[in-house]
A and B are shown apart, each in its own frame.
Chain A
């Protein structure tokens, strides 16, 4: 497997979606290619950082307008 093939398979590799034989071939390449290993590690970290991000609290004005609209809808339905 060459560097270009590794880059093409990065997504499936970090998601664990590669067939065993392809994964093993890719990992053999990573053992001797520091650059590809760096790209794989940094791409995985990129995904992890976004995946672990949490929403900040909803701004009060946005929340208040949402709940006003919701109460109107709930009242409409109950009338």
Chain B
């Protein structure tokens, strides 16, 4: 159920339980992203020539994904919405500077991630730092190891799975979450992720490893066999 609240004089809705919806049948890992359709460059070229309809089509195409990204980084509905709005407005304002050496969507993700990170740092100044070195190897060994059985995600209805993913990612520390979201949800490359965050490739890799292991451990609570759905 959605509940309206007023923030900054504007009616906003409480966040939905989760923002991720799994497909029932997982695809093989890391297929090329299909998010950028073949005509994306034509829309970008038209928008650069002043065709506002073309830019609106780009917004329409990516708005849900960009909102998921900003929500996944900030975990705050108000910040996520503001970051998304500013990302689209800035991308429009700076469209002429977009060199088309990457996909428009990747460029947009970089802008949106930076907008979201800025708000996350502001809201949690002492809880979010990518400058801190990650701990040693001692914490890497799995503490909980139980059989999940075949296709454990299919034991849950889509809405339940949606809630589970939202809950586990919410509990991940922000500096791990940001890297996991950019790398494994938005499918940026390790190099692109490092560039967006202004950190080294090894720093991305070491946090990504920890993020993945931590999420596996959190999902274990739901996926281990014998847990009723």
Contact = CB atoms under 8 A, between A and B. Distances in A.
Interface of A: 3-4, 7-8, 10-12, 14-16, 35, 38-39, 42-59, 61-63, 65-67, 69-70, 73-74, 77-78
Nearest to B206: A11
Given A51-B27, A70-B59, 19 more contacts: A7-B142, A8-B140, A11-B212, A16-B30, A45-B153, A51-B185, A51-B187, A54-B21, A54-B23, A56-B68, A58-B64, A62-B13, A65-B10, A66-B84, A67-B56, A69-B89, A70-B88, A73-B89, A74-B92
Interface residues of B, number: 57
Contacts, number: 140
B187 A7 contact: no
Interface of B: 2, 10-13, 16, 19-23, 26-27, 29-30, 52, 55-56, 59, 63-65, 67-68, 81, 84-85, 88-89, 92-93, 137, 140-142, 145, 147-148, 152-153, 162, 165, 169, 180, 184-185, 187, 205, 208-209, 212-213, 215-216, 219-220, 223
A14 B187 CA distance: 14
